[in-house]
Amino acid sequence: MYPQNFYIGLDKKGSRLWAGICEAESKGLINVAFIRGDISLLESYFGPHELDEIWITFPEPQPGGETSRAKARNRVTSAEPGLARLHRILRGGGLLHLKTDSHLLYRYTLDQMRVASLIVDWCTDDLYG
């Protein structure tokens, strides 16, 4: 799986990391690492412009489920601090991929990217259709 690349999985839930570790081991992958941590601490794990790509798959919390503005503001797909944090650790021309099955989160993230003045290169409402 692209041996020239190095992959790092980050999650706060140990069970999801364990599943990834087991799969990497079963496939003999040596170009992967895993961090158990919180995405809000991303800048303590990586320096400015250190990453080429970031994949966010099925992030939480979902929009509309928050009980306070503070929780909504801390969402990884909010313009500040979430998307701004990701932008700071991506190299120039780096890519941010978002995959979600929530149309509400998808629309929210597109709006937040506009607020943060980030460029959307490509998006689709129906990835598998």
Q: What is the DSSP string of 57-120?
A: ES-SSPTT--SSHHHHHTSTTSIIIIIHHHHHHEEEEEEEEEE-S-HHHHHHHHHHHHHTT---
What whole-number percentage of the chain has pLDDT above 90? 33
- Looking at per-residue pLDDT, the higher value among 46 and 77 belongs to 46
What is the pTM (predicted TM-score) of this model? 0.77
pLDDT band at 112 (very low <50, low <70, confident <90, very high): confident
- Asked whether the predicted pLDDT for residue 64 surpasses 70, the reply is no
* pLDDT of 72 over the 80 cut: no
pLDDT computed for residue 43 by the predictor: 93
Q: Looking at residue 25, what is its pLDDT?
A: 96
pLDDT at 70: 61
Question: What tokens were used for 37?
Answer: 């941590």
pLDDT band at 31 (very low <50, low <70, confident <90, very high): very high
Nearest of 56, 87, 60, 84 to residue 72 by alpha carbon: 60
